[in-house]
Amino acid sequence: MIENVKPLSRNSYDTTPVHPSASHKRPLSDHGSTQTDVAPKSLAVPAKSGAQSRLDPFSGDWTIFAPHRTSRPNQFGKVLQVVNKTAVTCPFCAGEEELTPAASWAARIDCNDRFLVFGDPTDVDALDWSVRVVPNKYPVVTDCSSNRDTDIEHAKKQAFQQRANRAESLFQSRELVGGHEVIIESPNHVQSISELDLAETKLLLYAYQQRLRYWKNQNGIQYISLFKNVGGDAGASLQHSHSQLIATDQIPSHVETVSERMRSHQAKTGCCLQCDIVRAELKQKARIVAQTDSLVAYCPYASRLPMLVRVTTKDHQNDFDNLSLPVIDELARLLQRMTGWLETMIPDAAYNVLLHTRPPGSSANEEAFHWSLEFFPRISRLAGFEWSSQSMINTVLPEVATEKYRECAKAEDPRRVL
* Encoded amino acid at 143, one letter: D
Taking Cα atoms as reference points, which of 247, 205, 206 lies closest to residue 224? Answer: 247
Q: Which residue intervals of 241-316 are DSSP H helices? A: 253-269, 273-284
Residue 144 annotated in ligand binding:
no
Q: Which residues contact 207 (CB under 8 A, 6 or more apart)?
A: 105, 107, 131, 133, 183
Task: Quote the CA–CA distance of 106 and 211 in Å, as a whole number.
Answer: 11
Q: Which residues contact 135 (CB under 8 A, 6 or more apart)?
A: 24, 26, 27, 28, 101, 102, 104, 143, 179, 180, 181, 182
177-184 and 142-143 beta bridge pairing:
parallel
Residue 240 annotated in ligand binding:
yes
Task: Quote the CA–CA distance of 246 and 49 in Å, as a whole number.
Answer: 18
SS3 243: strand
Residue 370 annotated in ligand binding:
no
Residue 93 annotated in ligand binding:
yes
Task: Quote the CA–CA distance of 274 and 176 in Å, as a whole number.
Answer: 30
Show which residues are catalytic: 242
Binding site for Zn(2+): which residues? 90, 93, 189, 240
Binding site: which residues? 90, 93, 189, 240
